[in-house]
Amino acid sequence: MEGFVAQKLNDFETGKISRRKLIETLTFAATATSAAGSAQAQAENPLKAQLINHLSYTCPDFKKAADWYSMVLNADQVGETKRDVVVVLGKKGEQPYNVTAKDVPHSHLVIRTPSAEPPARGGPRARPQSQAVIDHVGYTVANFNRAEAKAQLTAMGVKNVRDGGLYSLHMDDAMGYDVQLSGLDNNALTDG
């Protein structure tokens, strides 16, 4: 990017392009950089993951669990059915944070309660038992301050709030599932 800017600046200084053209070109280049990188990576691997689409969260009481996430993460619930509801980690009409691709939706939780009825004969075949488990999920929130967040969560009635490393807090959700909350400081480069 820097090399491109230097070239355009040189063109401007030598009179090859106008001041107006310089500004337009740099504006376009600056806003297109991120999108171009994403498109190139996708062309190289059609299976490249852009973002978590959703986590499928199964529990005995989907409404109770969803209300907890809505309260703590200020997240909207949409599409409620008899057995499940979606909790969206972002607002409708907004792009996911720092994502420019228009075909990438907000990450969300599909929170569901299994049917009490036995599976119908001829229904989907049972999956093999997994040897892996997702034992906790971390969420990024804006302007995270651990001390303030701890006080705020405690005031909300969140259970088992405890420190987690330098940049985060752990807590139990309404189903006793381990949830971590942090700011942008907790990331792949700093965690672990």
Partner 1 sequence: MEKFIANLVKNFESGQIDRREFCQTVALAATVYAAGDAANAQTRTGFKVLGINHISYTCPDYTKARDFYTSVFGLESTPGKDNGKRANLMFGPEPGKGGSFIVARTAATPANPRPPSQAVIDHICFTMSNWDEQKVRAALKAKGLEISGGRDGSLHVLDPFNYDVQFANLVEEDPFKHGLTAN
Query: Which lies closer to partner 1 via its Cβ, residue 19 or residue 121?
Result: 19
Query: Which lies closer to partner 1 via its Cβ, residue 33 or residue 154?
Result: 33
Binding letters toward partner 1, positions 58-77, x by CB under 8 A: xxx----x----xxxxxx--
d(CA 129, CA 135): 16
> What is the rounded (10 degree) CA torsion for 132, 72, 188, 111?
30
Query: Which lies closer to partner 1 via its Cβ, residue 121 or residue 171?
Result: 171
Q: With binding defined as CB under 8 A, does residue 97 bind partner 1?
A: yes
d(CA 171, CA 164): 9
Give min distance, CB of 189 to partner 1, in A.
Answer: 5
Of the candidate residues 24, 119, 154, 159, the single one contacting partner 1 (CB under 8 A): 24
Give min distance, CB of 121 to partner 1, in A.
Answer: 19
Q: Which of residues 25-54 bind partner 1 (CB under 8 A)?
A: 26-27, 29-31, 33-34, 38-39, 41-43, 45-54
d(CA 150, CA 148): 5
Give min distance, CB of 144 to partner 1, in A.
Answer: 8
Q: Which of residues 103-162 bind partner 1 (CB under 8 A)?
A: 103-108, 110, 124, 127-144, 149, 152, 156
Place of tokens 């005995």: 60
Report the Cα–Cα distance between both ends of the chain, in Å, rounded: 32
The answer to whether 113 and 82 have CB atoms below 8 angstroms apart is: no
Q: For residue 144, what are the contacts with CB-CB under 8 A and spacing of at least 6?
A: 167, 168, 181, 182, 183, 184, 185
Query: Could you tell me how many residues of this chain bind partner 1 (CB under 8 A)?
Result: 108
Give min distance, CB of 35 to partner 1, in A.
Answer: 9
Q: For residue 147, what are the contacts with CB-CB under 8 A and spacing of at least 6?
A: none
Of the candidate residues 16, 18, 21, 78, the single one contacting partner 1 (CB under 8 A): 78
Q: With binding defined as CB under 8 A, does residue 17 bind partner 1?
A: no
Q: For residue 63, what are the contacts with CB-CB under 8 A and spacing of at least 6?
A: 85
